[in-house]
A and B are shown apart, each in its own frame.
Chain A
Amino acid sequence: MFLTKEEEKMLEGEYGEATRIAMRLIVKVGEALGAQKLINVNSAQVSGVSYKNIGDPGIQFLEDLVRSGGRSKILSTLNPAGMDLKNWTMMNIPKEFAEKQLKIINLYMKMDILPTCSCIPYLIGNSPNYNEHIAWAESSAVTYANSVLGAKTNREGGPLALASALTGKTAYYGLHLKENRFPTHYIELKTELRNSTDYSVLGYLVGKKIRTGVPLFSNPKILPKVEDLKALSAGLATSGSISIFHIENYTTEAVLNKKQYQSEKDHMEKISIEEEDLKSIFDEYALTSNPDLIYIGCPHASIQEIRKLAHMLRKKKIKRDLELWIGTAANVKILADRIGYTNIIEKSGGRIITDTCIVVSPLKTLGLKRILTNSAKACYYLTALEKLDVGIAKLEDCVDTAVRGM
C-alpha cells in the first residue's frame, strides 16, 4: 500500500503509541481488502458504546488506548449507549451495568469523542456534505450519509471507526470509489408510501430481497421527508448489507447522474414492490394482544417526530398497564423540554429516554416481553437477538394502541 511520509510517521509511532496502533489497524485491514492508499476523513461515528455489547473486553481495549495517549483528530460522535446516561434509575438499570456504562463514556470523552450517544449524528451536528469522505459505523447512519447527503463512507465496524477518529484516515476502497456507488438494481414502486413506517418496511423488504448491491428506487408520488429517508436507510441496512441507495430525480447522485442511470437501467436487475409485499411484513410482525411497551425511536426520533407525538398525546392518557417510550438524542430532548413537548408526553404517561435504544439496552432485566414499534429495524433485532414478541404499526396507530389498547 502507498503511504505518504506523514502516514509512515504515524505508523512508525512518531505521533505516539495510540496513533501507531490505530494506523496499523487501518493499514492492515486496508491491505486485506485490497486498498492501494489511504484518504483523509472529516468525521467519524463510533459504534461499540453499549456495555451490553462490548463488555469488559471493550473497556480493556479503550483503557489501553487512553493510557497510550489516544485523542481524536477529527469531529467524532458516538453511537447509542446501553442506558439513559442521566435517568438510568428510571429504566431500572442495574447499578453495576450503569457504572461500567458511564466508565465507557468517560473513556471515549478522554479521547475527545463527543458523547452524542445517538444513531442520527446527521441531525445533531455531525452532518457531512456532498462528496465528503467520512468513516462511520452504525449501518443506518452510513446508509443515510451515503444516499441522502452524498457523503462517502463504508460500513465500518466499531474498532475501525475508532481508529479513523484517532488518525483522521481510512483505507480507500468500497464506497469511497465512485464506481461502487452506481445502482445495480431498479426498484419500481407500484404502491403508495404513506408514512415513515411504510418506508421502514420498504427498506427491510428490499434488503431481504437483494441482500447486497445498490438499489435505485423509482420516484414516489409523494416525496419522502427526512424521517422517511431515515427509516428507509435503517430498513435496508438491517436485512441486507446495503449501505447506499438512490431515488430517481430526488437524491443527489441520482440527479447528478440522471442520464447515465437512465441509459444503464436496462442492465439493472428489476424488482417491483406492490402493496401486498409491504403487507406481508406487517403480517409477519403482528401482535395479537396488548404490548408491555410501545417504542418510537429506531433510529432515534427527530424533533419533528417528537412534535407530532406531543400533538397527538395532548390531553390523552396512556393505558395504565402500558408504557410508551420515545428514544432520542440528549440535545433533541433539550428542545422538546424547552417548548413543552416533554411535559405533554410525560403528563400522558409516556417518557422520552435519551442516549440509548432498546436494542442495545439490557431489556431482559427490565422484564419487557411484548413490544409494539413503528420500526422494521427494531422488530428484526428485538426478535432475533432478544427473542421478544414484536409488532409493527405506523406512528398514529402506535399512539392509538398506547391510549386505547389493541
Chain B
Amino acid sequence: MCKKDIKTIILKGRGLVEGLVEGTALVTSQPISFYGGIDPSSGVVTERGHELEGKTVSGKILVFPYGKGSTVGSYIIYHMAKIGTAPLAIINVESEPIIVTGCVLANIPLVDKLNKNPIKTITTGDIVRVDGTTGTVFIFSKA
C-alpha cells in the first residue's frame, strides 16, 4: 500500500499485559465468552447469534467490550495460546478478571480504557499495532 492512502490514528489507554504486535483487527460490539462461545481447537466463534459467529479469532487483534461467562474462559485462552489458535492481542473497552487472567497466563498483549471507544474507532480489517507495555494502539486504516 502507498503511504498516503493510509490514515494513522493513535489511541492511548492502559497497558495491562506487555508485548508489541501488529495484525488485522476483528471487531465486535458484543462481549465474548471464551468458555462455550469459541471452539478452542479452531479459534472459531461458535456462540449462536453472536456478531462474530463463524469467524476465527486466531492471529487477530480481537476488539470487544469485555469478557463474559465462566472463569474457565481464562484456561481456554491459555490453551489456545499453547496450540496456536489464540488472538494475537486483545483490545477491550474495559477488561474484567476473566480476560486479564487469560492474557496474563498466555502472554497475550492486552490494552483497555482507551481515550476513544475502540469498537467505534477500529474497523474489522484495519491493520492495528498494539503496544501492551505503554498502552498505545496504532490504527492504520485505508483512507
Point out residues on A near B: beta carbons under 8 Å.
Answer: 21, 24-25, 28-29, 31-33, 47-48, 53-58, 60-61, 137, 157-160
Contact = CB atoms under 8 A, between A and B. Distances in A.
Interface residues of B, number: 22
Given A28-B16, A32-B100, A58 B72 contact: yes
B16 A158 contact: no
Contact of B70 (A21, A53, A60): A53
A157 B104 contact: no
A157 B95 contact: no
Interface in B37-75: 40, 70-72, 74-75
Contacts of A58: 72, 75
Interface in B1-35: 14, 16-17
B101 interface: yes
Contact of A157 (B17, B40, B74, B112): B74
Nearest to B17: A28
B40 A32 contact: no
B75 A25 contact: no
A11 to B, nearest CB: 12
Main secondary structure of the interface of B (DSSP, over half): helix
Contact of B79 (A24, A57, A157): A57
A21 B16 CA distance: 15
Interface in B69-121: 70-72, 74-76, 78-79, 82, 95-98, 100-101, 104-105, 112
6 contacts: A24-B104, A28-B16, A32-B112, A158-B72, A158-B75, A160-B101
Nearest to B113: A32
B78 A33 contact: no
A349 to B, nearest CB: 35
B105 to A, nearest CB: 7
A157 B105 contact: no
B109 to A, nearest CB: 12
Contacts of B78: 57, 60-61
B97 A33 contact: yes
A56 B96 CA distance: 24
Contacts of B101: 25, 29, 157, 159-160
Contacts of A25: 101, 104-105
B105 A159 contact: yes
Contacts of A53: 70, 72
Contacts of B75: 48, 54-55, 57-58, 61, 158-159
Contacts of B76: 57
Given A32-B112, A54-B72, A137-B71, 17 more contacts: A28-B16, A28-B100, A29-B104, A32-B100, A33-B97, A48-B72, A53-B72, A56-B79, A57-B75, A58-B72, A58-B75, A60-B79, A61-B79, A158-B74, A159-B74, A160-B71, A160-B101
A60 B77 CA distance: 12
Contacts of A31: 16
A160 B16 CA distance: 16
A157 B71 contact: yes
B85 to A, nearest CB: 11
A25 B78 CA distance: 13
Contacts of B74: 157-159
Given A32-B95, A157-B71, A57 B40 contact: yes
